[in-house]
Structure 1
Amino acid sequence: MYPVRLFTLTALLLTGGSAMATSFVGTTDAIGNSLAGTAEASSDATSSLRDDKVVLAARDDAASFVASLGAIRGAHLEAALLHIRRQQPDLQADDLQLARAILSR
């Protein structure tokens, strides 16, 4: 009777472990895909502004803004965000997404 219990316990452990791994993979895939979509949208939005002097001048401010999760807002970043939104009024990105896009250029 002991080998049957051991076999059953082993089967349960293996099944439970694979279910958790599948759930984890599904969750990380969903998060990764949503972040990739956000990055792609904000990157596309600023692709035409890569050589723009206003945007280039805002890189240091954008880095501070991203690192502080929006607490530090420099004048160059404010000017760049305003400039980007004037250039692309239909843009649906928040300030943090745009700051990350400025840094990723």
Structure 2
Amino acid sequence: MKIRSVVLAAGLIGFSAVASASSFVGTTNAIGSILANTANALGDSTASTFGSDKVVLQAREDAASFVGSNGDLRGVNLEAALGHIRHQMPELQASDMQLAEAILAL
């Protein structure tokens, strides 16, 4: 009886570990896909305009920090690039996060 309980507990723990791992993989794949699609969509429209722009290219490190911190870290170069992009393309309706992702995609 005790062995049966131990085997059952071990099986449940193993099953939950597999379920957690597959859930994590599915979530990270979905997030990666969303980010890639957003960056590609914005990147296509901004790459031709800003692909060689010094202000935007200098903001890549700040953009990486901004995206990595989920918007908590806002560097001076990123702020300059966001203002520059919005000034050059006032019709562009994108969040700071979307623009930072597009800068990283350049």
**TM-score (norm. length: structure 2):** 0.63
2:61 — aligned with what?
Answer: 60
Q: CA RMSD in A?
A: 2.3
Aligned residues: 76
| Residue pairs, 1:13-52, within 5 angstroms | 32=33, 36=37, 38-47=38-47, 48-52=49-53
Separation of aligned partners in 1, 2:83 and 2:74: 13
CA contact (8 A) 1:61 1:74 kept: yes
Name stretches of at least 5 consecutive residues in structure 2 with no aligned partner. Answer: 1-28
Percent identical across equivalent pairs?
56
Name stretches of at least 5 consecutive residues in structure 1 with no aligned partner. Answer: 1-27
| Residue pairs, 1:73-92, within 5 angstroms | 73-92=74-93
CA contact (8 A) 1:46 1:101 kept: yes
Deviation of 1:41 after TM superposition, in Å, equals 2.9
2:71 — aligned with what?
Answer: 70
